[in-house]
Structures are given as C-alpha cells and as structure tokens.
Chain A
Amino acid sequence: MSSDALVQAGEPAPGDLGLGSDLPRSGGARLSVWVLRRIALSLLTLLGVSIIVFLATQTLPGDPAREILGHVTPAQVAAFNKLHGLDKPLLTQYVDWLKNTVTGSFGSSIATHEAVTHLIGRRGLNTLALVLLSALISIPLSLLIGTISAVRRDRPVDHGIQTVLLTLTAMPEFVIALLLLVLFATTVFTWLPAVAVIGPGETAFQNPEMLVLPVAALVLAVVPYVARLQRATMIDVLESEYVHMARLKGLREGTIIRRHAMRNSLVAAIQGSSLTLIYLTGGVVTIEFLFAYPGLGSALTSAVQTRDLPVIQAIVLVFAAAYVLINLCADLLTVYVTPKLRTQFR
C-alpha cells in the first residue's frame, strides 16, 4: 500500500449555508494561487456590483437634470448633461464614473451639499458601532444557544428554545424593535430613550444609552437565525462517526464536546459570524429609521426619498463592498481552520 494522501471530494458544508463560498476543491493548485483566485473573484463581484449601481443610477428614467434643476428648458438640460458628461457614450460614462468611485470622489449630497465622503465617514461610524456591538453580543450568544439546543436535542429545553427561535426569526427586526420600544420606552416601562438623539458632532459611543434598544432589537433578530444553523451543525457533528468513536474510546463528555465537536463546528461558527454581519448590514436600515438613528441606513432612506443620487450610490456601494469583504474573510478563515482544505495544497 502506498502512503499517498488521497483526498476525497471537497467539504460539503459551507455552500449549504447559502453563502457566497467558493471553497477549494480537491486536487487544486497551491494555496496562494487559490487565495489570489478568491480575491480576484471578489473584485469581479465588486465590478459587477458597480455596473449594476451605475446602470441603476445613471441610465434609468427619471432624468437627473430635470430632477435637480426643476422646470427647465431643453437647452438647460443639454448644458447640464454636458457638464456632467451625460452626453458621452455609456461606456465612457461608466469608466469615468468608476474612476471617480474608486478614488472616492462621490461628489456632494444634492440635498445637503455635504461632501458624500464626509457624510459616509460620520454616519458610517455610527452604523459600524451599531453593527459591531450587535455582532459582538449575538455571535457568542447564538453559538451558545445553538450548542445547548443540540446537546439537549429533542428534550424540553430544546423544544422551548426552538419555538422561541422560530418565532423570532419570522419577525421583521423593526417589528421586534417596535414591540421593545412600546415595552421599555413608552407604556410599560420608560427606562430608555425612544429615539436616538445624537448631535452632528457626536458619535454613538458618546451616547451609549441610545444604543441599547437598537442593539437589543438587532440581536433578537439575528441570534435565532445563526443559532439554528449552529444547532444543525452541532447535531451533525454529535452524530458523526468520530464522536461515536470518541465515546467508545471512553473520553470524558467534556473533552468530546470541547475537542471533538467544537473543533469541527468551527467552520459553521465562522460562516455563522459572517452571516450575522451580513444580516446586520441589511437590518440596520429599518432599525435606524425607526429610532431615527443617524447612521448609513437612515441616510439611505432619506436619500431615496429625495432622490439624492450621489448619496444613494455611495451608500449602496459601501454595503455591497462590506458584503464582499465579509464573505472573503469568512472563506479564507474557513480554509485556514479546516486541515483537509489547508493541507491539501502542500
């Protein structure tokens, strides 16, 4: 028998989580080649995103000139179009637009005349605070709940947890937030501020009590989703042959869970974390609107109301870029923690 290390078909897991994973398959090239390929793919996705945003904002009906200038003569429209390069061929327009985008020149807000980069910086920090704080709480919480539920599978604890989780996943985050609001800020208790009041020069960190309700709502919305994934993964792992084997070797239950089970649900934890972050980036839109929280989400909502194109473009691009980046990191980490994927490149 030869000592060849034959690798069977690639890992099945992450694709099932509905994530943008393109994990290496067996017999692939070197690790560095795969990493470069993966990064290139991310850039390609971003390029696709930019095309969609460009087409949506620059070419769809709803003439920007008319929109901005109000009632104007055709000559004025033509002048405006020339000024903004709108009379050039589409491809040229796109290339110009992309150049500006990549260099961060988004122009300034039509409504407030604030530089878009400035607005994003200011608001982005607030959103980042909201997202990171929520993620920091919900990731460990969901992993814990999922694991407990899996270990106590089909017992009353599990059934109870399942019902609560199913209930919470179904509810839109703004409904959860509203119910929290009614409960804690208005009628029943009036402990917490109902609306976030953060001055223009301040950041969310200076007003921690403003964050309580929005973060609580986001956590309640995202935990069930990831906890259920974690439970499913843990159950698979606990039913695996290597866990049976560990039991038959007479290992302590604690060792089995910690060493044998947790180690192999790490991939799910990473994918779960990335899912959490992605979910949160979408969830902030309604939450910020409800609490009048000065973040990117509420900025987007008002920009859409006023058709403030430069702001819409920039914010949409920021969100999409965040998605692509989170996904990329998750995939790289997944390969890093999966020996079978990591070592097959050597």
Chain B
Amino acid sequence: MSTQAIELPAARAGRGRRSAAARALRQRRTQVGLVITLLVLAVALFGPLFAQYEPSAIVSIPAQGPSAQFPLGTDALGRDVLSRVLWGGRGLVWMAFLATALGVLVGAALGMLAGYSRSWLDDALMRTMDVILAFPQIILVLLFVSMLGTKLWLVSVLIAISWVPQVARVARGVTTEIVEREYIQAAEAIKTPARRILRKEVLPNIITPLAVEFGLRLTWSIALVAAISFLGFGIQPPNADWGLMISENREIITIQPLPLVVPAVCIALLAIGTNFVTDGFARAVARTSGGEG
C-alpha cells in the first residue's frame, strides 16, 4: 500500500452557510435592508409602549393636520394617527411570520416527500398542489374567509396553505435533483432507512434554498396580510392596523393623506427591507456554493 499518508490542507474556517451570511452582510443593499427591517420591526413590536393615546379612542375632530398634540394628525374618525401607527404593525408582523413559517414547513415536508418517493405519491401530491395553485392567493383566502368568518388565525393558516404548493415545488425540485446524486444511492445501497436518508442526506442540502424561500415568502406574506386587512377581512375595526388604516381613511385622502400614507410607507418599508436581506443572502449563497442543489 502506498505508504505515505496524504497531506491535507489546513482546515478552512467556517462552513458554507455561515460564510454566506457573512458575505451577504458585506453588500450595501443587504445592510440597508437589515437596518430598515429592524427599524420597522421595532416600531411594530415595541411601538405600543410609546403610544400616547388609546389607538381606538376618539380624541379630537377628524382629519386634522399634524400638530404638537397629534404629530401625524387625526384620522377620519378623529383618532390619533401616530398612536394607531404605533399599534398597527404588531398583528401584521405576527400573522405574516406565522403564515410564512407554517407554509414553508409544510411545503418543504410535502415537497421532500414527493421528490423522494418517485412514485404515485409524487404524482398525487403534486396534482393536489396544482389544484391549490389554481386559486390566486388572495382569492383562496377570500373564499374561505367568506364562509368561516374573519378570524386572524384563519387568515394566517389560509395564507400558509396558499404558500404550500409554491414551496413544495421548490423543495421537490431540489430534492429530485439531490435524489439523483450518487450519495443517495450509496446510502440506499447499505439499506439506510428512507426517513434517515431524508433527514441526514437530503435536508442539509435543501436548508439553504429553503432559507431563501422563507425570506421571499415572508416579503409577500407581509403584502398579503396587509392586503387582506385593507380589504376589511383581517384585523377588525376599531383595532388599529396599517392595512385597515388605509381603507378606513380613503374618504379623506384628498383632505388629509397622512393617515393613509404613513401606514402604507410602513408596510412598504417592512416588505422592502426583508426583500433586500433575502436578495443579499440569495446572492451570497449562489456565489459561495457551487456544488449545492
């Protein structure tokens, strides 16, 4: 046997994923995105602590301009706009986050299962996904909300369901590609159980694409939740919500646009921030890992 052992190069610091995150953070756009996201998140989550008035309390005459007392003026019913803005992000953030997490989780599981099974199960699952996909997301939510009523958890679950087919497609695509790799066959050749193969061989390879999926879906979940509230099927009046504030104040848009513009900008910034971060991460991933699925 060739006697001399093979020299290995010094171990490299940091595995692929961590360095991808680090690379992402070196891009200007990602930094900007992160700052924006954190700022809006801070407003949404901790805003209520700083609100001066009860968000639903009528404190003055409607549609006032900014003043010392009401820095952003009052809305169509005479409530303090600033207080409503400070209160109005919490529900949105939680609903968007829950919907995305649930949707990506279920979608990834189904996608992996379909991609790995290579059998009738794959066909059955993906045909079912096609059916769900045929409903534009917002219409799927409206259809069920019309029957079951406007419950916030329901809206989140419905949005999650509407993400499932899209995430499942991605997960399935990556999985089928990985399943073709010889390392899966090598694991199968020693009778490794399917569950173990999925967990140990497939999952580590699709974690990164799934992280990117999560970011993308989060951005659009924010938009969706806001849209549902805007249409009046999310958080119900008199509670404060950014989406709801836009539709509530439509009549006074010509007199006093601030009660509409400020929440609109908040929604936009949150979605833009998460999108910038996701994009930066996705780019960094594409650059660091060539051999990835």
Interface positions of A (Cβ within 8 A of B): 15-16, 18, 20, 41, 44-46, 48-49, 52-53, 56-57, 60-62, 163, 166-167, 169-172, 174-175, 178-179, 181-182, 186-187, 194, 278, 281-282, 285-286, 289-290, 300-301, 303-305, 307, 312, 315-316, 319-320, 323-324
Please indicate the chain B residues that have their CB under 8 angstroms from the CB of A175 in the complex: 223, 226, 246, 264, 267-268
The answer to whether B226 touches A172 (Cβ under 8 A) is yes
B230 to chain A, nearest CB (A): 6
Q: Which residue of chain B has its CB nearest to the CB of A48?
A: B131
How distant is the Cα of A18 from the Cα of B144 in the complex, in angstroms?
24
How distant is the Cα of A171 from the Cα of B275 in the complex, in angstroms?
10
Q: A48-B131, A49-B131 are in contact. Are A56 and B147 (CB under 8 A)?
A: yes
How distant is the Cα of A300 from the Cα of B232 in the complex, in angstroms?
13
| One of B52-60, B72-80, B134-142, B197-205 at the interface | B134-142
How distant is the Cα of A179 from the Cα of B253 in the complex, in angstroms?
11
Identify which of A46, A56, A304, A305 gathers the most chain B CB atoms within 10 Å of its CB. Answer: A304
Kindly identify which residue among B169, B231, B253 contacts A186, using a CB–CB cutoff of 8 Å: B253
The answer to whether B139 touches A174 (Cβ under 8 A) is no
Kindly identify which residue among A166, A174, A286 contacts B272, using a CB–CB cutoff of 8 Å: A166
| One of B14-22, B63-71, B254-262 at the interface | B254-262
Q: A18-B170, A20-B133 are in contact. Are A285 and B138 (CB under 8 A)?
A: yes
The answer to whether A282 touches B136 (Cβ under 8 A) is yes
The answer to whether A301 touches B149 (Cβ under 8 A) is no
Q: Which residue of chain B has its CB nearest to the CB of A62?
A: B147
How distant is the Cα of A328 from the Cα of B131 in the complex, in angstroms?
14
- 8 closest Cβ pairs, A-B complex: A282-B136, A48-B131, A172-B223, A170-B275, A170-B271, A304-B146, A60-B147, A170-B272
Please indicate the chain A residues that have their CB under 8 angstroms from the CB of B279 in the complex: 166
Q: State whether the Cβ of B289 lies closer than 8 Å to any Cβ in chain A.
A: no
Please indicate the chain A residues that have their CB under 8 angstroms from the CB of B222 in the complex: 172
Q: State whether the Cβ of B274 lies closer than 8 Å to any Cβ in chain A.
A: yes
The answer to whether B136 touches A194 (Cβ under 8 A) is no
The answer to whether A281 touches B253 (Cβ under 8 A) is no
How distant is the Cα of A56 from the Cα of B146 in the complex, in angstroms?
9
What are 8 inter-chain pairs, A to B, with CB distance below 8 A?
A: A60-B144, A163-B29, A171-B267, A181-B253, A187-B257, A285-B227, A304-B142, A312-B143
Please indicate the chain A residues that have their CB under 8 angstroms from the CB of B224 in the complex: 172
The answer to whether A20 touches B130 (Cβ under 8 A) is yes
Interface positions of B (Cβ within 8 A of A): 29, 127-128, 130-139, 142-149, 166, 169-170, 173, 219, 222-224, 226-227, 230-233, 246-247, 250, 253-254, 257, 260-261, 264, 267-268, 271-272, 274-276, 279
Kindly identify which residue among A60, A285, A315, A320 contacts B231, using a CB–CB cutoff of 8 Å: A285
The answer to whether A15 touches B173 (Cβ under 8 A) is yes
The answer to whether B275 touches A179 (Cβ under 8 A) is no
Identify which of B130, B232, B246 gathers the most chain A CB atoms within 10 Å of its CB. Answer: B130
B127 to chain A, nearest CB (A): 7
Identify which of A16, A169, A305 gathers the most chain B CB atoms within 10 Å of its CB. Answer: A169
How distant is the Cα of A178 from the Cα of B246 in the complex, in angstroms?
9
Please indicate the chain A residues that have their CB under 8 angstroms from the CB of B29 in the complex: 163, 166
Please indicate the chain A residues that have their CB under 8 angstroms from the CB of B272 in the complex: 166-167, 170-171
How distant is the Cα of A187 from the Cα of B218 in the complex, in angstroms?
32
The answer to whether A53 touches B143 (Cβ under 8 A) is yes
How distant is the Cα of A179 from the Cα of B135 in the complex, in angstroms?
28
Kindly identify which residue among A60, A169, A172 contacts B227, using a CB–CB cutoff of 8 Å: A172
Please indicate the chain A residues that have their CB under 8 angstroms from the CB of B267 in the complex: 171-172, 175
Please indicate the chain A residues that have their CB under 8 angstroms from the CB of B219 in the complex: 169-170
Please indicate the chain A residues that have their CB under 8 angstroms from the CB of B254 in the complex: 186-187, 194
Q: A163-B29, A170-B271, A323-B134 are in contact. Are A60 and B166 (CB under 8 A)?
A: no
